[in-house]
Amino acid sequence: MMTMADFCDQLFGFQDMLFENFDGRLEFKGNNFGAVWPGNGKPGLWLNSISRMGAVYNLILREEEIFLEEKKKMLGVKGVNGVDYERDEHIELVLPPVFAKCTKVLDARDQIVARDLYWEAMICEEGLEKIEELLVKSIEKNPFVGEPYVVLSQVYLTKGRFEEGEKEAERGLTLLLEWGCHWDKRISWEGWIAWTRVLLMKAKEKSWPNTSWGILNLGLVK
């Protein structure tokens, strides 16, 4: 589980270039030591890798629960109680909430398609309709990270669709808090959390600025 936490905290697009992670499986097979830091700023393709780790960890946890339950029954019959500290049985195994509590594996190809759709939305100059279309498709391919929901929430608020904006902001905020780190590392995790809470607040107020200065003033402390 610590490896999962390290990956999601540290990795972004630069490592994909460094290890030539073109298939999204992050198997560290490449050796592009000339990759220039910090790269293009895209979110990294590490989600497939840690979703597989999570699935394995889930199986280990379930097997451990079965083992301990059987042990408890056996000790109960013998009238003996005890914890095997050499097996670290006193340490509670905790299942992370990500990937539907580690029950889902994100396909490597879907991960790439979703990331590229998200990135296309970020640089799109064809208007809100196109951006919305790209984000919805991105979420369909990868529903496990919060940032696409957050950006989609802003699109909905800009269009006056406050109920939909609130729903997407809530989902995005939940995922960001569950991860405890950010997938799109151009902005800090704290920055994503703060912005999402602003979106959620404005969605509940059913209010959104219609001027550039109004958008800028959303960052003012009242």
Q: Quick one: pLDDT at residue 24?
A: 95
Q: What is the pLDDT of residues 44-73, one digit of tens each?
A: 999 999 999 999 999 988 888 777 777 777
What residue numbers bound the domain in which 21 lies? 1-103
What confidence category does residue 8 fall into, taking pLDDT thresholds of 50, 70 and 90? confident
Angle at 23 between CA 130 and CA 31, to 5 degrees: 125
CA dist., res. 19 & res. 56, Å (int): 24
Same domain for 131 and 152, yes or no, is yes
CA dist., res. 11 & res. 183, Å (int): 9
For the chain, counts of helices (H) and of strands (E): 10, 0
Tell me the average pLDDT of the chain.
91
Tokens of 176: 């960001």
Which among 2, 13, 31 is positioned nearest to 111, based on CA atoms? 13
- Given the structure tokens 């540290």, which residue do they identify? 10
Same domain for 99 and 112, yes or no, is no
Same domain for 96 and 120, yes or no, is no
**What does the DSSP 8-state code read for residue 146?**
S
Question: Are 118 and 138 in contact, with CB atoms under 8 Å apart?
Answer: yes
77 pLDDT higher than 60: no
Residues 6 or more apart whose Cβ sits within 8 Å of residue 2: none
Same domain for 113 and 99, yes or no, is no
| Number of domains making up the chain | 2
Q: What is the pLDDT of residues 127-182, one digit of tens each?
A: 999 999 999 999 999 999 999 999 999 999 999 999 999 999 999 999 999 999 99
Residues 6 or more apart whose Cβ sits within 8 Å of residue 30: 18, 19, 20, 21
What is the CATH number for 115? Answer: 1.25.40.10
Same domain for 121 and 139, yes or no, is yes
Q: Quick one: pLDDT at residue 2?
A: 74
- Given the structure tokens 């073109």, which residue do they identify? 22
Q: Decide which of 103, 136, 171 is a domain's last residue.
A: 103
Same domain for 51 and 131, yes or no, is no
Rounded to two decimals, the pTM is 0.89
Q: Decide which of 75, 103, 131 is a domain's last residue.
A: 103
CA distances in angstroms from 89 to 85, 94, 172, listed in the order given: 6, 13, 35
Same domain for 164 and 190, yes or no, is yes
CA distances in angstroms from 42 to 12, 119, 159, 184, listed in the order given: 7, 7, 27, 7
13 pLDDT higher than 80: yes
CA dist., res. 160 & res. 91, Å (int): 49
Instruction: Give 118-133 as a DSSP string.
Output: HHHHHH--S-HHHHHH
